[in-house]
Structure 1
């Protein structure tokens, strides 16, 4: 996917095969290690998502929200709408082979409600948490933008 200039694009490479990285971003128990969990039947197009990773940044566990699954093409592409603060985050995640491992490309439409640098800092931190969860390393500390 080629992102418009106003979209935020965050990339991270992993030593893991595509299928394993896909599982880490789609299976509730694996997601719970780095960002949050979901319940429900994804085949309906909506799951209840609870973001839990904010606790490690001094925040609280968020209330569950209905995450809408717009595209799910295992093991390569997931597009979701995630309600957040009165708006919806449009997230487009692509997993592809990269050398002997894989690369995750996260694209978020930026609507101006949150500064781009704050979104970038947040997603960089979450993908660092994903890398730590994948490798068994300690979770990285939160470092705000600026």
Structure 2
């Protein structure tokens, strides 16, 4: 796989999102498992403890030496979508995942809300990295290296144009 930046902006009712799409030759339930099972998640992004049914878990990313963080699960409609927040106030992060299956394939759309376009230069390479790790983990391929993504993808994200809300 040749890594390339894939994110683009989308305006939603609750703000500006940096959004990414990936296509899997797999049933939707199989992709959902990779996104939501704490053991499957270890292969590409991190893990969590707790029960999502309670509306909150503790999550830790594996590649950033990150601390455990509290995550609120705002929406969960298995195996089609979930939305979650980590942190609160100005430093809070909202992420969503939507899955659609058709023709034996599943499309994953992931988005992270951003405060403004300047955030994308660091957020975009990170999600390209983790989503490519998801693909590699699922296929048993070697995981990509962070150095492939950052800082080389940052110019792409700095160059994105934030959509005009008045045109939408």
Q: TM-score range by the shorter chain?
A: 0.7 to 0.9
How far did residue 16 of structure 1 move?
Answer: 1.6
Distance between the aligned counterparts of 2:26 and 2:86, measured in 1? Answer: 26
Distance between the aligned counterparts of 2:22 and 2:71, measured in 1? Answer: 23
The residue aligned with 2:103 is 99
Give the greater-gyration-radius structure (CA). 2
Normalising by structure 1, report the TM-score.
Answer: 0.86
The residue aligned with 1:126 is 130
User: What is the CA deviation profile of residues 67-125 of structure 1, one whole-angstrom value per residue up to 9, with x for unaligned ones?
Assistant: 100000000001000238x6111111001114321111011111139621321111111
Distance between the aligned counterparts of 1:99 and 1:116, measured in 2? Answer: 33
The residue aligned with 1:49 is 59
Within a 5 Å distance, the mapping from 1:1-146 to structure 2 comes to 3-4=10-11, 6-54=16-64, 60=65, 62-83=66-87, 87-112=91-116, 115-142=119-146, 143-144=149-150, 145-146=154-155
How much is the aligned-residue C-alpha RMSD, in angstroms?
Answer: 2.0
Decide whether the 8 Å contact of 1:11 with 1:106 is kept in 2.
yes
Normalising by structure 2, report the TM-score.
Answer: 0.76
Gaps of 5+ in 1: 55-59
SS of 1:90's partner is strand
Count of residue correspondences: 138
Gaps of 5+ in 2: 1-9, 156-168
User: What is the CA deviation profile of residues 36-71 of structure 1, one whole-angstrom value per residue up to 9, with x for unaligned ones?
Assistant: 1000111110001011133xxxxx2x1111110000
